[in-house]
Amino acid sequence: MEISIVDYGLGNLRSVTRGLEKAGATVDTTHEPAEIESAEALVLPGVGAFEEGMEGASEMTDALVEAAEDTPLLGICLGMQMLMSESEEGAGAEDDAVEGLGLVEGRVVRFPKTVGKVPHMGWNTLSVEHNHPVVEGIDGEHFYFVHSYYATTEAEDETVAETEYGHGADETVGFSSVVANERGNVIGTQFHPEKSGDAGLRLLRNFVEFASDF
C-alpha cells in the first residue's frame, strides 16, 4: 500500500514516515496537487498554528478536497484540525474564524483556562464512541497529545473517540480526539500516533489496512 504524506511546510515528516513504514506502508511525500489527487491514500500531518497551516496548504486545498471524495485521508494533530470547517485560532478582530478544509463539519476552539495547564501535553486515553476500522483494538489506550486547541464536531457520529482533559482543575473538557466524515474515509487524530508507542503503531496499521481495503 502506497501512502503519500502531504508536505505543506509544517510537521515532522520523518517521524510520520517511519511510523507508516513500520505499519507496512510504502511512503512518499508530495506537495504537488496532481499527485495528491491521484494518490492511493493520504496523510496530512502538522505541528503549529491553524492559520499558518492553511496558508502553507493553500495551493493544495482544491486537490485535497477533491481527493477526499474517494481517497482515504488521515489528518494528524494540526492536520486533523485543518480537516474541520473552521478554527478560532488566528481569527482577527473582524473575523470570528479561519476557514478550514471543511471535510469534517465542526469548529476548532481553545481550551478554557478552567482546565488548568494549557497546552494539553503528554499521555492521555481514548474512549471509543463509534466503531471505525482505525480504532479497532485501541479503546482505553494511551496516546501522546500536544495541543492548545481542540475540535468540536457538529454531528455526533463524526466523533469516533473522545478524550477528557483537566490538569489539576475542578473542570474537565471532553473533546473529539478521533474524528471521521460521514463516509468514513476522512479521519483525524488529535494526538500523534507516530509518537504513541505500540498503541500508535496499531492505529497506523489499522489505517494502512483500511486504506488497502477501501
Question: Contact 104/188 with Cβ under 8 angstroms?
Answer: yes
Does pTM top 0.75 for this prediction?
A: yes
Question: Contact 197/16 with Cβ under 8 angstroms?
Answer: no
pLDDT tens column, 54-110: 999 999 999 999 999 999 999 999 999 999 999 999 876 556 899 999 999 999 999
pLDDT tens column, 138-194: 999 999 999 999 999 988 889 999 999 998 777 899 999 999 999 999 999 999 999
Residue 6 has pLDDT above 60, yes or no: yes
Report the pLDDT value the prediction gives residue 94, as an integer from 0 to 100: 54
Show Cβ contacts of residue 58 under 8 Å, excluding neighbours closer than 6 positions: none
- Distance (Å, rounded) from C-alpha 212 to C-alpha 191? 23
- Distance (Å, rounded) from C-alpha 164 to C-alpha 90? 24
Show Cβ contacts of residue 108 under 8 Å, excluding neighbours closer than 6 positions: 50, 81, 84, 86, 87, 88, 89, 100, 149, 150, 151, 152
- CATH number where 202 lies: 3.40.50.880
pLDDT tens column, 10-63: 988 999 999 999 999 999 999 999 999 999 999 999 999 999 999 999 999 999
Question: Contact 138/202 with Cβ under 8 angstroms?
Answer: yes
Q: Is the dihedral of CA 60, 63, 65, 67 positive or negative?
A: negative
Active site residues: 77, 192, 194
SS (H, E, C) 10-66: CCCHHHHHHHHHHCCCEEEEECCHHHHHHCCCEEECCCCCHHHHHHHCHHHHHHHHH
Report the pLDDT value the prediction gives residue 95, as an integer from 0 to 100: 62
Report the pLDDT value the prediction gives residue 11, as an integer from 0 to 100: 81
Identify the burial level of 47 via C-beta atoms within 10 angstroms of its C-beta, where 0-12 means exposed, 13-18 middle and 19 or more buried. middle
Tell me the pLDDT band of 137, cut-offs 50, 70 and 90.
very high
Domain count, the chain: 1
Report the pLDDT value the prediction gives residue 169, as an integer from 0 to 100: 72
Report the pLDDT value the prediction gives residue 22, as an integer from 0 to 100: 97
Range of the domain at 97: 2-213
